[in-house]
Structure 1
Amino acid sequence: MISIAEEIAVPSPPKRVWEIVSSPSEVVACINGAELGEAHDDGSFDGTLVVKFGAMKVAFAARVALDLTESEHEGRLAARGKDGQGGTRFTARAGFRVTEGDGPDESRVSVLGEVQLKGRLAPLVESGAGALVSRMTREFSAQLIQRCAGAEAVAPPLGPLGRLRAWWTRFLSRRQKPSPSRDSATSGGGR
């Protein structure tokens, strides 16, 4: 069994974060290798996830049910499926909640869940589960933060050089925007 206990800090208000994490299409867009499939009459939907274990890639297909409590900003997810070759079956359950963060306009997303595997790939998947969950959490967090920030968001820079480049870009864009006091002085000075 794979246990998941993650907490993600997001520099956006809880309402905005909830808009993203309560939308299956938005969540799938935050997960590398995931795709959303057909929606069913009972509210469930199909989904696929390609996961890389070392040099091997495994595609899992699942039927996913999502139960949301908007007033509490919490949800529950249940999934059942198998890998593309049918050798490994899984069931997964998870609960998530969006709460206020430490500062204004900050949120926390808490996720608790478990995945049970049966079949020939189960030992391989379980042996690399810790590293896989950590990697997927980092990738999901970066995408979630970017989506919550809006259309003009940029992927988080990596390393000191990337942070310097991002700072320099912001600095130059602020210098190129005319200030309101300068605009009013030039427009009013010609009369």
Structure 2
Amino acid sequence: MRIEHSFEVSAPLERAWELLLDVERVIPCMPGAELTELVDDRNWKAKMEVKLGPMSLSFRNDVRLEEVDEGARRVRLTASGREARGRGGAKATVVSTLEERDGGTRVDIATDLTLSGPVGQYGRGIVHDVSAQLVQRFAECLEAELTSTPTGEPASASAASVDPATARPVPAAPARTPTPPPPVQAPISGASLVARALARSLARGLRAAAEQLERRAG
């Protein structure tokens, strides 16, 4: 199934693009996601937890950065994994595209998702509603990251060097420490979404039954 979402952040395009390429900071912004291993500069391992009603799902995923298009400001990631308790699997291709918008940045996310096994029983409506919650909190986390100091806080200055022309010490510029990734966010709970989906299903069944009775009465 294909799922599309869009949101805007207040940061300029260049800063948003820089953050989007920093996968180690982006992954923890997704609720329930945690980076577990850095394989190389294009491959990672991560886990993802989601609650759907009484079922708590935990996926172990391989994440790969497939494409970076600087000109189009587009990034393509793929992720695939199995549920830890054998409840199925998931494969996703996620394409994120950035566009300058009134001094800020518009982010368009298109996801092609395939679910297999027991987790595949959930319909498009539930999956879309859960993904909408995920993207909303993801956007809030990105906004928080973008409004923080982008290059880290100054660390203690290193020893001063000496200008050979004057033999005077030259103060060293303070070093900067890398910006740490955001804390892991708690997974979302889809209990209310499941309940709404069941209610919609029941309503459809009642409407169908009522229509059938009307046809018989006519």
TM-score by length of 2: 0.63
**Counterpart residue type for residue 144 of structure 1:** L
Matched letter for residue 77 of structure 2: L
Counterpart for residue 50 of structure 2: 51
Q: Which residue does the alignment assign to 1:166?
A: none
Partner of 1:70 in structure 2?
Answer: 70
> How many Å separate the matches in 2 of 1:84 and 1:111?
27
Q: What do the CA deviations read for 1:135-154 (whole angstroms, capped 9, x no partner)?
A: 10110111111111115xxx
Q: Deviations over 1:153-182 (max 9, x none)?
A: xxxxxxxxxxxxxxxxxxxxxxxxxxxxxx
Q: Verify the 8 A CA contact 1:53 1:125 in the aligned structure 2.
A: no
**Match for residue 145 of structure 2?**
147
- TM-aligned CA deviation for residue 42 of structure 1: 7.5
- Which residue of 2 is the match for residue 35 of structure 1? 34
CA distances 1:96-119 after superposition (whole Å, capped 9, x unpaired): 111101x12x10111111110110
In structure 2, what is the equivalent of residue 121 of structure 1?
Answer: 119
Q: Which deviations, in whole Å up to 9, do the C-alpha atoms of 1:26-55 show, x marking residues without a partner?
A: 112211211112222483111111011123
Q: Which residue of 1 aligns with 2:3?
A: 4
Which is higher, the Rg of structure 1 or of structure 2? Answer: 2
Unaligned runs of 5+ in 1: 152-191
SS in 1 for 2:30: coil
The 4+ residue runs of structure 1 with deviation greater than 6 A are none
Structure 2 unaligned segments of length 5 or more: list them: 150-218
SS in 1 for 2:122: helix
Of Structure 1 and Structure 2, the greater helix share is in: 1
Report the aligned-residue RMSD.
1.9
Q: Which residue of 2 aligns with 1:109?
A: 107
Give aligned-pair identity as a percent: 25
Equivalent-residue separation in structure 2 for 1:82 and 1:127 (angstroms): 22
**Residues matched between the structures, number:** 149
Give the equivalent residue in structure 2 for 1:99: 99
